[in-house]
Structure 1
Amino acid sequence: MNLDSVRGIGRRRLLGWGGLAAAGAPLAGAQLGRPDSFSGLPPETGPGGAYDRYLAELAAKGEFSGVVLLSHRGRTVLSRAYGLADREKGIRNHPGIAVSISSAGKPFCAVAILQLVQQGRVKLTDTVGTHLTGFADEIAERVTIHHMLTSTAGLSSPAQDPQRIFTSRDEVHEYHERWTRQATLVAAPGTSSDGHSGADFAIPAQIVEAVTGMTYWDYVEKHIFARAGMTGSGFYTRPRWLTDEHIAHSYMLQADGSRVDVVRNLDKGSEDPFQPGKNPARSVSSQRI
């Protein structure tokens, strides 16, 4: 689903180095199911039912835009698209549209790490310094992969410039290698924390690269997306995002109540309290080209 209000999908997180740019179904799309063919399933859950009408009403008011899949025991009950994937070009959403999932892409990093654990190439007890250099001793020697994957590393990441725009993947990569090495240890590793550090995700991604010799993006696309049949998912650069009509655009709420296209307006912030521009202290996630 792609929420036009972009609550929880900030310019930082939407365009993140480690974040998954867009995930979608295979371009063939899914078929609509008939609710009367499912024993005990309320008819209002199917096409034309109350749920379908509710989403259509939200889309008509500009409060929702995206693709919904409702299934029951592995069978599709409702697969329908609402709203526009690109307002400027008038491209409607459809089941083959890929949408940004922002920080929801982080579990793929855990999958990549655990694949390497299964292969005996990595251990969850390995510290940062086992595979990477350039970190402060207390991080390199005390913070483990398990700590980072469970958000108990005790790390704090420095804020980033919300207006920075990259021109290549190499520039994104080099920037975040420097950025993660500026992280500091603010709590004992293994201690639960309400905080959130982008380094908890970016460092394991770099470990994947150090162990495999591949970029994190290439590794995930080859060893997770391809193996899972996720043919509509991938990591996309801004130029690709601007020209590929199967990738949905997300929008940021402005002070005057309007919404602007995030991909076309990387220099603008947002009035949403979860977005940069309203509360710069929360603008700590990464950006993508």
Structure 2
Amino acid sequence: MLKDKRELDKVVTNIHDNTGLSGVVYMKDGDDELFQSAYGYANRAEELPNNMNTRFGIASGCKLFTAIGICQLVDKGTLSFHTRLKDCLDISFPNFDESITIHHLLTHSSGIPDYFDEDEMDDFEELWKEQPTYLFRNLKDFLPMFQNHHMKFQPGEKFHYNNAGFIVLGLIIEKRTGLRFTDYIESEIFNRCGMKDSGYFSLDNLPKNTAYGYIDNDEDGTWRTNAFSIPIKGGADGGAFITAPDMMKLWEGLFNHELLSEKCTNELLQPLIAVKGDAYYGYGIWINKRNDTIFKYHVMGYDPGVSFHSSVYPDLGIKLVVPSNKEKGPFEVTKAIEDWL
């Protein structure tokens, strides 16, 4: 094992040297900590280094939290995966197909318009040039950006990654629980897993030991924070802050059925819709196959100044968490570790 750890350290160090990795790499083999290390600065101006308990934004990596929240409502019998959107909310969506279900929203197959379509827009920052980021503190604040637009395709026709669909799922959680979405997730997921350092924090009121997200200009070597490049507070489609150990607790809580029944956990983890090649999607989670068996479950997130990958390799018993406060690094680390494995 000691030899393995030395080899793994070389693998990660090489990625750090090539990408300027800024973040944390945390890896467990079953209950044993196989590797943990922190790199770069949480605050560049003050030269405060990242550490194992630094909080990082994870962008879309937290769509899984929203999916778990919905599945908890299914477990309680409050709704089902076949419940129609039209029967969940009293919000007007005049041009949406009435056959859209919870299942469609969870699997990015609803066909509804997105407020940020990644096939049509490359730069998330472009959204906020005419709409101040500081106005987006609640899920309903996103509605004017998509609720009156027309369908892109028929529900269930195909997979097409969709942020607005998860905004809608968050609104359903609020409607069915009577709680603000972020309060529900913190109470019913984070607290139940012991994720005491994680939460949905406002960019203008970040707690101590939270990494600022940094956007680098490769042309002249300058940088800036992402304070004006993402919504001021995260929600159902992205933007939570987690520590690497807390994300590990999330995985353990999910696979140990601490958050959902075994039946609902298995439904969440099913490869429900084909994406491309050996890539599939379950409920809020990516699933990759190799030789017709599941190689890994994973989540990922990218925002200006944020990148995040976290994976579970069921046959190997390995769990990996790589958050970063830069726009690159976690993918490269994950790929290198998979090659090493």
TM-score between the two structures when normalised by the length of structure 2: 0.59
Contact 1:151/1:200, CA 8 A, preserved across alignment: yes
The corresponding residue for 1:212 is 177
Deviation per residue, 1:88-147 (Å, 9 max, x gap): 121111111111111111011110001001111112111111121333355262111110
Contact 1:83/1:92, CA 8 A, preserved across alignment: yes
CA RMSD in angstroms comes to 2.5
5+ residue gaps, structure 1? 1-34, 37-42, 268-273, 277-289
The corresponding residue for 2:199 is 234
TM-score between the two structures when normalised by the length of structure 1: 0.69
Q: Secondary structure at the match of 2:65?
A: helix
Determine if the alignment matches structure 1 residue 96 to structure 2 residue 53.
yes
Moved over 4 A (4+): none
Determine if the alignment matches structure 1 residue 181 to structure 2 residue 147.
yes
The corresponding residue for 1:253 is 216
Counting only pairs closer than 5 Å after superposition, residues 19-34 of structure 1 correspond to structure 2 as: none
The corresponding residue for 1:224 is 189
AA in 2 matched with 1:94: N
* Cα distance in 2 between the residues matched to 1:266 and 1:154: 27
1:266 Cα shift?
3.5
Contact 2:69/2:173, CA 8 A, preserved across alignment: yes
Share of identical aligned residues, percent? Answer: 23
Contact 2:69/2:185, CA 8 A, preserved across alignment: yes
Counting only pairs closer than 5 Å after superposition, residues 1-289 of structure 1 correspond to structure 2 as: 35-36=1-2, 43=3, 45-46=4-5, 49-59=6-16, 63-137=20-94, 139=96, 141-159=98-116, 161-163=127-129, 164-167=131-134, 170=137, 172-193=138-159, 195-241=160-206, 244-254=207-217, 256-258=219-221, 260-266=223-229
More strand by share: 2
Q: Highest Rg: 1 or 2?
A: 1
Q: Secondary structure at the match of 1:184?
A: coil
Contact 1:65/1:82, CA 8 A, preserved across alignment: yes
Contact 2:110/2:156, CA 8 A, preserved across alignment: yes
Deviation per residue, 1:152-192 (Å, 9 max, x gap): 1012224572333344665x444213334134312110111
Deviation per residue, 1:71-91 (Å, 9 max, x gap): 222201221111111211211
1:258 Cα shift?
2.9
Counting matched residue pairs gives 223
* Cα distance in 2 between the residues matched to 1:239 and 1:275: 17
Contact 1:251/1:262, CA 8 A, preserved across alignment: yes
Q: 1:50 to 1:227 in 2, by over 3 A?
A: same
* Cα distance in 2 between the residues matched to 1:91 and 1:58: 21
Q: 1:265 to 1:125 in 2, by over 3 A?
A: closer
